[in-house]
Amino acid sequence: MSTQHEIPSYLTPHEIGPWGVYLEQIDRVTPHLGSLARWVETLKRPKRILVVDVPIERDDGTIAHFEGYRVQHNTSRGPGKGGVRFHQDVTLSEVMALAAWMTIKNAAVNVPYGGAKGGIRVNPKLLSEGELMRMTRRYTSEINIIIGPTKDIPAPDVNTNEKVMAWMMDTYSMNQGSTASGVVTGKPISLGGSLGRHEATGRGVFVVGCEAAAKRGLDIRGARVAVQGFGNVGGIAARLFAEAGARIVAVQDHVATLVREGGIDIPALQAHSSAHGSIEGFSGADALKERSQFWEVDCDIMVPAALEQQITADNANRIRASIILEGANGPTTPAADDILHDKGVLIVPDVIANAGGVTVSYFEWVQDFSSFFWTEEEINLRLTRIMREAFAAIWQLAEEKQVSLRTAAFIVACTRVLRAREMRGLYP
């Protein structure tokens, strides 16, 4: 299915990219929305887009300018919520799609947030620590007018981490004149961060992966897992699968692709990656020269946990896994979705599979507001319960309606968002 969409004037047809993928996903769910379809246009237009110039003084005295974004896609169910990405390929289309997927994800797991996302078009690996801090602080000051603990709460995403969140929290607090720990999540524990947040997305991927495997009669012990992306999400998911007895037969990051039939030693790979900034050069596995061979690796579970639009019509046919767990946001294009569906591959969509991060971000925000902090055990128990319940509800709906898990997740989420929209009514 490929519908012609109205392209917003601020995107050229060439830039439609991930936003186009999202629009196609909305088209697929619309026939299932009944009378709420009347409101569906609201999901096809971001509520608010802020594009900012982020100038910094480089260490060598020159001035550099970066393009920054914060998009609030929808706030019908609560404040905006979504990460901030620092990457050289960030575009407005990408940030719009990521913000929209946050709206869907937050509604799919029923946390009381809308959807938002931010980013800076920069390769942060080329900045010094001081430059990174100045860029983060200036970006935060620029978007200060639309973020806040009850308005829009950023969090980490690709190439951002606890340290970046601490700078954002401090900059916002300095602008406000009071300490506002609830303005971001994914903070260091000492600043009101939550236990378990660092691992939450990877843990959620693992939890729903176990549920999906059970539905397919696949024993996790001995299951062969291939992971693309060895950062926060992929690295932690790989470790948890390995601890549960699975064999991690392939890992790919932005530099290298490693394979080992008997299973890669994940703690050793993590130590290597932390020391060298990449998995490249790790001696405990074989390196594949051709990156695209990753998709052909013989495995049971494939976890794309890097960037969007990785599984496309060009490589979907080569995939041998029976389950795809979308750790990344938007890793599979709609055309690839169809190919994989026809092959009988079970895709656990991003909006469920990687929702563990925002779920524990929600716990962090609640703990910050009440200034009362939970134990890691409590957090992991609540996270596991929410992930399992969300997966079970979507599985049941998919069976009832004979649709994919993605369409089922979108039906649940869009119904929640549009019902809220309908009940609130249009202002004025």
Residue 81 annotated in active site? no
Q: Which residues of 195-216 are buried (b: 16+ CB within 10 A; e: fewer)?
A: bbbbbbbbbbbbbbbbbbbeee
Please give the residue ranges that form the binding site for ligand NAD (CB under 6 A).
156-159, 201, 228-234, 252-254, 305-307, 327-329, 354, 357
The radius of gyration of the chain's CA atoms, rounded to the nearest angstrom, is: 21
Sign of CA dihedral 26, 30, 33, 35: positive
Cα separation, 56 vs 138, in Å, equals 8
Q: Would you say 90 or 307 has its CB closer to ligand NAD?
A: 307
224 phi-psi bin (left φ>0, alpha ψ -120 to 50, beta other): beta
Q: How far is the CB of 273 from ligand NAD (least distance, A)?
A: 7
Q: Would you say 242 or 418 has its CB closer to ligand NAD?
A: 242
Q: Would you say 230 or 391 has its CB closer to ligand NAD?
A: 230
Which listed residue (81, 105, 117, 187) is catalytic?
117
Q: Where do we find the tokens 């993590």? A: 270
Residue number closest to ligand NAD, CB atom: 231
Q: Would you say 239 or 421 has its CB closer to ligand NAD?
A: 239
Q: Would you say 33 or 305 has its CB closer to ligand NAD?
A: 305
Closest CA to 126 of 59, 74, 174, 49: 59
Cα separation, 113 vs 121, in Å, equals 26
Q: How far is the CB of 255 from ligand NAD (least distance, A)?
A: 7
Closest CA to 285 of 227, 217, 329, 325: 227
Q: Kindly give the interhelix angle for 17-29 and 334-342, rounded to the nearest 10 degrees.
A: 50
Q: Which residues form the catalytic set?
A: 117
